[in-house]
Structure 1
């Protein structure tokens, strides 16, 4: 009986250590990439993972020699966006299928509208300062 627990525990620990290697903050927020013209790109991803483990004794003797078991794990990494840093300004560049609904399009346009409002305010300040 003790051998069975050890076998199952070892299988679970081995599988979980591999999952831990794949599922880390470095996978979600990737290493920055700097282009020759000074633009820095930081990849952002979405992670999904699953894990299962099971085992059983076969036959009448439960000494651990008739134990069979297995583990399975899966990880899915989907690219979501890039953070684009240029001249001290950070923008989000989504990596997605274009929005289909009106609400999705409005949400996608918010960063562009905010940029335009910000530039308008900056221009307004410049003209009033002179």
Structure 2
């Protein structure tokens, strides 16, 4: 086991490294015809695990170093924002994450509700002035 498991782990890490590079986090710039450049920004999560054992089965038949083991890994890339560049001005455009709870949905509704209330008050005030 002393030789097999480290080799398996090294191979898995090398493959994960191939899948995830700097371009996975800060994507390739996308240019539009009207001079806007958009750069995607992502969150990358990587995980892997491995294990193994040396065992001597009942029917070893003279095998040396019987080994059983396995290694696995995964990568998750989640877009979180876009950098939007136009006329030298850079803006961050976050990707909205859907609300999971009722409280989160209420908090998300506050700006729209306030806009509607302000619009209603403005309309009502203008009618009273006329």
* Both structures adopt the same fold (TM-score exceeding 0.5): yes
- Secondary structure in 2 matching 1:5: coil
TM-score by length of 1: 0.68
Structure 1 residue 39 displacement after superposition: 0.6
Structure 1 residue 101 displacement after superposition: 5.2
Structure 1 residue 46 displacement after superposition: 0.6
**Stretches (4+) displaced over 6 A:** 103-106
2:22 to 3, 16, 25: 25
Give the total of aligned pairs.
Answer: 102
Q: Work out which of the two has the higher radius of gyration on C-alpha atoms and give 1 or 2.
A: 2
- Unaligned regions of 5+ residues in structure 2, if any? 100-104, 112-130
Q: Does 1:48 align with 2:45?
A: yes
- Secondary structure in 1 matching 2:2: helix
Structure 1 residue 69 displacement after superposition: 0.8
- Secondary structure in 2 matching 1:11: helix
Rate the CA distance shift 1:89–1:25 in 2: closer, same or farther, 3 A: same
- Unaligned regions of 5+ residues in structure 1, if any? 107-130
